[in-house]
Amino acid sequence: MKKIISGVSIELRQGDISKQADCAAVVNAANAQLETGGGVAGAIHRAAGPELAQEARAMAPIKPGEAVITGAHNLPNLYVIHCLGPVYGQDKPEDKLLGNCYSKALDLAEEKQISSIAFPAISTGIFGYPAEAAAKVAFTKIIEKISTLKTLKNVIFVLYNQQDLDIHKRVLEQIMQGK
Ligand code: AR6
């Protein structure tokens, strides 16, 4: 599914975030230490190789809602943007912290003047954020900033399974219909 808003496409696809060769930057659902981990962080660090953690170490730790950018090493991308999402029920206010992740990732991508970025559903795995509520925060923030984007033309969400893809499709439709 693809929607165009203010000349920027928001595309939803099912897949593995570590295999998105057509995106200049991929976003990592990181931990504070910017080390490898489970889920997205595990897949990204495995594919990028140990140099990713080595490069990122100097920038750690980061706080919930923050984002930093590194090279992509052995990944088929130019950059990895590491976002620390909130742990649901613990880091508050969750919606603001999650929104900050998306906002800062877009800012970093724009600073590098790249045209495409791929996001996973930050915080919705190990950190426990309900997928529908997280999708609402993510799309609302991106649409809020979309008219300010200069070089970014493709914002891609890579959802790991069909259920998450369906939830994101539904939430994006609802937001675009003003619901
Ligand atoms: N590609 C795309 N999406 C994925 C992939 C993948 N390869 N693997 C999992 N997902 P999570 P979080 C989905 O747990 O909740 C890590 O250990 C997954 O189904 O990766 O922000 C870090 O080290 C879920 O929908 O991130 C942190 O400690 C979403 O991606 C902690 O987990 C996010 O799941 C971060 O937790």
**Among the listed residues 97, 100, 88, 81, the one whose alpha carbon sits nearest the alpha carbon of residue 30:** 81
CB distance 60 to ligand 1 below 6 Å: no
pLDDT average, residue stretch 23-36: 98
pTM above 0.90, yes or no: yes
**Side-chain-facing half-sphere of 178: CA atoms under 13 Å:** 0
pLDDT average, residue stretch 27-40: 98
Report pLDDT for 108. 98
* Ligand 1 binding pocket mutation candidate from 40, 63, 81 (most atoms within 8 A of CB): 40
Q: What ipTM was estimated for this complex?
A: 0.99
**pLDDT tens-digit series, residues 77-136:** 999 999 999 999 999 999 999 999 999 999 999 999 999 999 999 999 999 999 999 999
State the distance from the centre of ligand 1 to the C-alpha of 126, rounded, in angstroms: 6
CB distance 41 to ligand 1 below 6 Å: yes
Q: CA distances (Å), 16 to each of 42, 47, 172, in order?
A: 11, 11, 20
